Structure 1
Amino acid sequence: MELEIRSLIKNYGKKQALKGLSVTLTEGVYGFLGPNGAGKSTFMNILTGNLKATSGQIFYNGEDIGKLGREFRGVLGYMPQQQALYPNFTAAGFLSYMAALRDMKKERAKKRIPEVLSQVGLSEVAGDKIRSFSGGMKQRLLIAQAVLDEPKILVLDEPTAGLDPKQRIAIRNLISEMAAGKIVLIATHVVTDVESVANRILLIREGELLADSSREELTASLSGMVWEVTIPQEALEEISGQYLVGNVSREGSTLFVRVISENKPEKWAPAPVRPGLEDVYLYYFKE
């Protein structure tokens, strides 16, 4: 199974949201990581047929998805960023409606709906109105509709948006459980959403692919560039003006500052520390 994105360009007037994006994906979990406005959602919307590319092509197993049409949409599951749910539907009723939109046979839908509700931990509220659901429950229901027809390609756009830490962990674990045998694409600007689940991480900025590697390779690329310095409060402005600063923690009047720099910040007696994916994000996106 292979999904090839070839020289994908998307223009909105004079603004170019995608600038020749090219990447080949096989079975596994991919984290499309970048700040808001990087082009992640534009790419997802082109892949799912909600937008048309200005130029470029996407191939599924060597065939243009535009020519495959309905056949490609049949292997695709999509979880949108917005919670596009009907508050007066029950969870089971919503999935039944989505099954009808996908032209699933009634007998198969009848079998799959309780299965996916069980997978996402919503069996006990299958008959409850969606209006009564928490944010985490709504996100799980959106995942349920995305996997209802057992897709081979699963596209998740900001799957943990607006959730608290406990709910984020639950959603990430759920994605890991459902990823077997699929190409899974997770678009997010939240590092922790992809840090533990993605086989490959793709860094995107202003419509361009900056890096495509494993987490280990990305963090190793910053080896010898991440430091912790101990400084007084009054030195923070000076060090922030000279270096890329990550985490800052305090003990009394003393600050412990994580610094990312290709040159050792000698003045503050730095101690080298092991790079993490957040350091990679800050380095590439300067945020």
Structure 2
Amino acid sequence: MSDQATGAATETFVAHRNLLFTVAYEMLGSAADAEDVLQETWLRWVEVDLEQVRDQRAYLVRITTRQSLNRLRAMSRRKEAYVGPWLPEPLLTAPDVTEDALLAESVSMALMLVLETLSPTERAVFVLREVFDVDYDEIAAAVGKSPAAVRQIAHRARKHVDARRPRQTVSARQTREALESFRRVLETGDPQGLLDVLAPDVVLMSDGGGIKQAAPRPIAGADKVARFMIGGLGKNKSPITLAPTVVNGSPALVVHLDGEIDGIMAVRVEDGRIIGLYYVRNPEKLSRVASETRLTLR
């Protein structure tokens, strides 16, 4: 490829990089793997004859989808050997993500966990169609299926996700209020106050990846979750601080232990109380919470 052609390819790739990262991240739930996919996409993109490409953005999304599918299938084997619950890698996101309802929901911990229950092809089809509004013909080219088959897969995936996605749409303000109450009671160690902010059927998932201590399986029920949280914090002799942040488009808490980032707490809120609590402590998943990651649907 000539220097001029390489320059044109680079310019186009850079222009769509945030979009391509968002596509890969939503399919994989891992920023590190999404970055690897972008590298693989770039290596294939610079070999393309751009004069033969009618829609360069669509072509880049197609390459990214194919590389994401390959990696998603490999990741499924890694997850089978993962120690304890697996949670998506949290991303520190800009405030404007919170204001984009579709983008914020699509990268939320709650929905990303629902997407984990889909097959790789179902996940790719759902993400491309429901989040990025890609037409069926283009999705078919990306996943190697016929348009008719893609329509069936999309219908099946949508039905599956709709049955499991959060029942309520909650504003960022409501989530912040619930988190602030949660933070206060954790800092004071008030068991009754914690029960008041947790929904009776709350579920806690904690991800230590076998590196940091975490619950080996999800904990269900307000009493059990409260005991786990207060008991766990009480064991630490070093100073603990909980600070508000924005992760995956939603308000969250960053936990500092002795001045160092120890984890991220994200939540799902219904009727003003926390019904889902996601605590990521695996240090290998905390590299993207110190600086903002730019996400976009366009």
TM-score normalized by the length of structure 2: 0.28
Q: Which has the larger radius of gyration?
A: 1
- Identify, as 1 or 2, the structure richer in helix: 2
Instruction: Give TM-score, length-normalised by structure 1.
Output: 0.29
Higher strand share: 1
